[in-house]
Amino acid sequence: MHKEFLMGNEAIALGSIAAGVKLVAGYPGTPSTEVLETVAKRNPGDIYVEWSVNEKAAMEVAAGAAYSGARAMVTMKQVGLNVASDPLMSLEYVGVKGGMVVMVADDPGPISSQTEQDTRTFAMFSKVPLFDPVSVAEAYEMIQEAFDFSEKYHTPVFFRCTTRVDHGYEAIEVKDEAEYRKVEMEGFVKDSSRWVIFPRLSLKNHGQIEKRNRELTAVLSAYPRNAMHREKGRYEGGSGGKGIVTHGISYMYALDSMEKEHHVRILKVATPFPFPEELALRFLEGLEEVLCIEELDPVLERALLEICGRHHLQVRIRGKLTGDIAAAGENTMLSVGRAIRFFLGLEEEQPAEPADIPLPVRPPVLCAGCPHRASFYAVKQAMKGKKTIYCGDIGCYTLGNAMPLDMCDTCLCMGAGINIAQGVGHLDKGMKCFAFVGDSTFFAAGLTGVVNAFYNQADMTLIVLDNSTTAMTGHQPHPGTGRTVMGQVVEKVSIEKVLRAIGVATVETVNPLDFAEARDTVKRVSEEPGVKAVIFRSPCIAVTKPAASSAVHAETCIGCKKCIREIGCPALVLREGKAYIDPSLCTGCTLCEQICPTGAIGGGKKNEE
């Protein structure tokens, strides 16, 4: 063992390596991405790692490995689980041979997601057991136990964290390479009565799964990470008949909010499904009132209500359903501390009042020099005065919605923009319908939408924003980049060729940083009938080095602020009434040079590739 300062996701990766994982597949998504990246980085050499084209592919690739008797892991964010839900629902019926962990990162807040969905609820729906750690240190140990558990019960298991565990850092003890588990793999053994799902097999296995999950409530009651502080420690006793049930990072907030004299009985739930019922019954004994402190859905609260109902217990269960804990949003030290004090009948602590000064909000923005800004601006100028809809999608380019660009009218989920544009267009023939999709999203979820549009005779312009990387999640490779996470150089999948093969007749590729050319291309292409595409190709500024930044000639600048007003680049600010370019931010994209009415900006240069 040795000590390392690790991010939660890094600890999960190292834990899975120590557990003998042999295949890891996933699709990037905050806050899950670093798990797979760390496995690739710290690979002892015998682990196959891939960024799959999407979460469904990743789930199926991992299932194949687990069918073969190897330990496998699949990683994704919570909304990615929706994409992978089709294989997972059936996989639970079929089961696995090698241990298989489905690592899902939930995002209370939400901080960088479309939904506040709770994978614990998904666990109940899919009948897949779920592990939910409270800290980085526990995540490292628990992921190893999850593999053992999966293998023992021949079921995939969820390993679910939330942002504050995924992205928290802690110095923890980790195993040396010599201590890693060595797992012999048998390879795939033909057995169609096991691996081929048919209604008869589903019925038989369904019954067994329900029976197993009922039995697991007792097994998991003895799992030491489902724990009650009762006999000793700070929370001895249970005076006042009050108890707290909690999980994940909220457990840590609760401990930090508690003072020695509180004497509250605490139940920490590591496996909300199957729920450790026997343990919960012991916890409830003699209690009058319980506060459930949890994030996202009231999963623990409902489980306790059910237990109290089944066993005719007169315990008042409080939590989200009673308004004691907020129904939506992330728990914080402040919210948990307040809820506990209120529950215990203690006086509320008054935190310092925020200053009575209106502070500007600071949402994320497209980076200085981001090629997406130029692409959006080109389309906006090309379509001036026309009736348009701009359907956006998931990625950095969702930020094109902000003023002054204001170029994202809809955003729903990965790949949705392409189909939404069709739906709008079928009913409003006078509308110019545009769908913007990034290169990684195009491969992950855009292809079927384009086929649908072409087949069903839609009239729309597809704009592919190809910056040659998965930028939002930290620059992962994808099928169009010609690189894999294992470092191999492979043949690129060409977006042009794919579109042409589908039947899209007009596919034009243009550099968005050449403003006039980009604008004129959009004008021309959008006039064509049917489905047509413009690919804006320019690499993400974070993966290319700037050559020379642009500068404003103060004498020529007339202070009209057109550059600032129209493109909203963070490198462009106003100084003494004139535009000024922050050289530490400017990447030399020259978009501002091209739109300045007096030619006052110059000197910018992009690096030639």
Partner 1 sequence: MRNKNIILCGVGGQGTILASKLMAAAAMKRGMEVKTAETIGMAQRGGSVFSHVRLGEGLQSPMIAPGKADIILGFEPAETLRHLPFLRRGGTVVASTSPILPTSALIGQASYPLEDILRHLREHTEKLTLVDSETAASALGSAKVLNVLLLGAAVRTGALGLTIEDIREALREKVPARFHELNEKALMYTEEKRTS
Q: Which stretch binds partner 1 (CB under 8 A): 154-162, 177-185, 353-361, 462-470?
A: 353-361
31 prior amide bond cis, ω within 30? yes
When binding is defined by CB under 8 A, the residue of 18, 53, 399, 495 that contacts partner 1 is 399
Compare residues 94 and 407 and give the one whose CB is closer to partner 1.
Answer: 407
Smaller CB separation from partner 1, 92 or 107:
107
Cβ atoms 482, 491 nearer than 8 A: yes
> Is residue 572 near partner 1 by the rule CB under 8 A?
yes
Indicate the helix (H) or strand (E) that contains 245. strand 242-246
Q: Return d(Cα 209, Cα 215) in angstroms, integer.
A: 10
The residue (of 15 and 156) whose beta carbon lies closer to partner 1 is 15
Q: Whole-number minimum distance, CB 584 to partner 1, in Å?
A: 4
Per CB under 8 A, which of residues 327..346 are in contact with partner 1? 332-334, 337
d(CA 131, CA 225): 10
Query: Total residues contacting partner 1 (rule CB under 8 A)?
Result: 55
Q: How many residues does the chain have?
A: 609
User: By CB under 8 A, what part of segment 1-60 binds partner 1?
Assistant: 3, 5, 30-31
Q: Binding to partner 1 by residue 360, rule CB under 8 A?
A: yes
Q: Which long-range contacts (CB under 8 A, 24 or more apart) does 298-301 make?
A: 299/118, 299/120, 299/121, 299/124, 299/272, 299/273, 300/245, 300/246, 300/247, 300/269, 300/272, 300/275, 301/245
Per-residue mark of binding to partner 1, 59-98 (x: CB under 8 A): ----------------------------------------
Does 154 engage in binding with partner 1 (CB under 8 A)?
Answer: no
Nearest distance from C-beta of residue 398 to partner 1, angstroms: 9
Q: Is 162 in the site for partner 1 (CB under 8 A)?
A: no
245 binding partner 1? (CB under 8 A): no
Nearest distance in Å: CB 349, partner 1: 8
- The encoded tokens of residue 595 equal 């739109």
Residue 255 touching partner 1 (CB under 8 A): yes
> Site for partner 1 (CB under 8 A): which residue of 315, 367, 383, 600?
367
Q: Single out the residue of 44, 187, 354, 430 in contact with partner 1 (rule: CB under 8 A).
A: 354
Q: Cβ closer to partner 1: 433 or 591?
A: 591
Q: With respect to partner 1, which residue has the nearer C-beta, 166 or 439?
A: 166
Nearer to partner 1, 311 or 565 (CB): 565
- In angstroms, the Cα distances linking 329 to 107, 110, 298, 398 are 9, 7, 13, 21
Q: Which stretch binds partner 1 (CB under 8 A): 41-49, 249-257, 427-435, 495-503?
A: 249-257
DSSP 476: B
CB of 402 to partner 1, least distance (A): 7
Measured CA to CA, the distance from residue 269 to residue 248 in angstroms comes to 8
Instruction: Report the nearest approach of partner 1 to the CB of residue 305 (Å).
Output: 28
Q: What minimum distance in Å lies between the beta carbon of 230 and partner 1?
A: 19
CB 499 within 8 A of CB 493: no
Of 60, 148, 170, 514, the residue at the interface with partner 1 (CB under 8 A) is 170
Q: Which residue, 44, 98, 101, 92, is CA-closest to 71? A: 98
167 binds partner 1 (CB under 8 A): yes
Instruction: Please give the Cα distance from 505 to 109 (Å, whole number).
Output: 43
Choose between 86 and 349: whose C-beta lies nearer to partner 1.
349
Given the complex with partner 1, which of 98 and 168 has the nearer CB atom?
Answer: 168
Amino acid at position 578, single letter: K
Contact status, residue 408 vs residue 390, Cβ threshold 8 Å:
yes
Q: Beta-carbon neighbour count of residue 324 at 10 Å?
A: 18
**C-alpha–C-alpha distance, residues 147 and 135, integer Å:** 18
Q: Tell me if 576 contacts partner 1 by CB under 8 A.
A: no
The burial of 599, by beta-carbon neighbours within 10 Å (0-12 exposed, 13-18 middle, 19 or more buried), is given as: exposed
Please report whether residue 252 would count as binding partner 1 according to CB under 8 A: yes
Q: How far is the CB of 401 from partner 1 (least distance, A)?
A: 12
| Stretch in the footprint of partner 1 (CB under 8 A) among 42-50, 259-267, 520-528, 570-578 | 570-578
The yes or no reply on residue 527 touching partner 1 (CB under 8 A) is: no
Residue 200 CB coordination number (10 Å): 9
Q: Does 352 bind partner 1 (CB under 8 A)?
A: yes
When asked if residue 412 is in the footprint of partner 1 (CB under 8 A), the reply is: no
Instruction: Quote the CA–CA distance of 320 and 298 in Å, as a whole number.
Output: 6
Closest CA to 317 of 297, 292, 340: 292
Question: Helix H segments across 75-134?
Answer: 78-83, 85-94, 119-126
Q: Under the rule (CB under 8 A), what is the footprint of partner 1? A: 3, 5, 30-31, 111-112, 136, 164, 167-171, 249, 252-253, 255-257, 332-334, 337, 349, 351-355, 357-367, 396, 399, 402-404, 472-473, 564-565, 568, 570, 572-574, 584
